Amino acid sequence: MAAPRPLHRMSTVDALAEALRHDILDGALTPGARLIERELCATYGVARHTLRAALRALSAEGLVTIEPHRGAHVAELTKDDVRWLYELRTALEVEAARLALERNGGRLPQSVHDALRRLRETCRGQAWGPINDAHAHLHHAIVAAARSPRIEAAHNALTGEMRLFLLALRPHIPAAQLADDHAVLVHGLEAAGTDVLREHLREAAERLT
């Protein structure tokens, strides 16, 4: 019998980063909002070095911007950021989808359809944070289906910006429409190929620019 493998408890830094991440992705902390150290330390009952470590972790994810002598604020995407993100996502996701279809006999694997089902179920709720997670999971599932570790690693690096992008889209697209649009995307990829994905990404970017 194998020896027990104890689970590691979540550190205070990780727990604080998770709480702040939740508030950012659910819209409670809006893009551009200042993250004032003394207020956050008092709210969560943590020391400044703990807060700063959590903010650095979120900065590495692209969710927080830290500026010397000016402190931290929730990251926000400019119109140029949206355009550049669209260009890079198109390059990575369209090629990944092409490979995924090629390597799976013209279909997308069950993992993609499971991710779509999760997104549709999550979109029936009201909390945007879980919707944001499910949306990112679906796009990552499409990329992972290509079985190309380099493309997947490059795409994973965009996670924070992708989530900020969807957060910015929140006023422009109801959750039910988001679910329907992605059902059309997945089925369209299998029926008509990668141009469907290219158009999907272009339309999303144009809503913000």
Per-residue pLDDT band for 23 (boundaries 50, 70, 90) equals: very high
Please state which architecture CATH assigns to domain 12-74. Orthogonal Bundle (1.10)
DSSP 8-class letter at 29: S
CA of 191: how far to CAs of 53, 100, 102, 108, 130, in Å?
A: 47, 14, 13, 11, 29
Q: 85: closest CA among 183, 148, 25, 169?
A: 169
- pLDDT per position as a tens digit, 134-185: 999 999 999 999 999 999 999 999 999 999 999 999 999 999 999 999 999 9
Going by C-alpha positions, the residue among 206, 200, 167 that lies closest to residue 79 is 206
Residue 100 has pLDDT above 50, yes or no: yes
Alpha helix positions (H), 124-194: 128-144, 149-156, 159-169, 175-192
- Of 4, 36, 23, residue with least CA distance to 167: 23
pLDDT tens sequence across 42-62: 999 999 999 999 999 999 999
Looking at the chain, the domain(s) classified CATH 1.10.10.10 span: 12-74
Indicate where the chain has its CATH 1.20.120.530 domain(s): 79-208
CATH number of the 79-208 domain: 1.20.120.530
Check pLDDT > 60 for residue 6.
no
Give the predicted TM-score (pTM) of the model.
Answer: 0.86
Q: How far apart are CA 116 and CA 113, in angstroms?
A: 5
Side chain identity at residue 31, one-letter code: P
Q: What's the mean pLDDT in 125-138?
A: 92
DSSP letters for 65-121: EEETTTEEEE----HHHHHHHHHHHHHHHHHHHHHHHHHTTTS--HHHHHHHHHHHH
DSSP element (H, E) containing 35: strand 34-35
> What b/e string do you get for 151-174 counting C-beta neighbours within 10 Å, with b at 16 or more?
bbeebeebebbbbbbbbbbeeeee
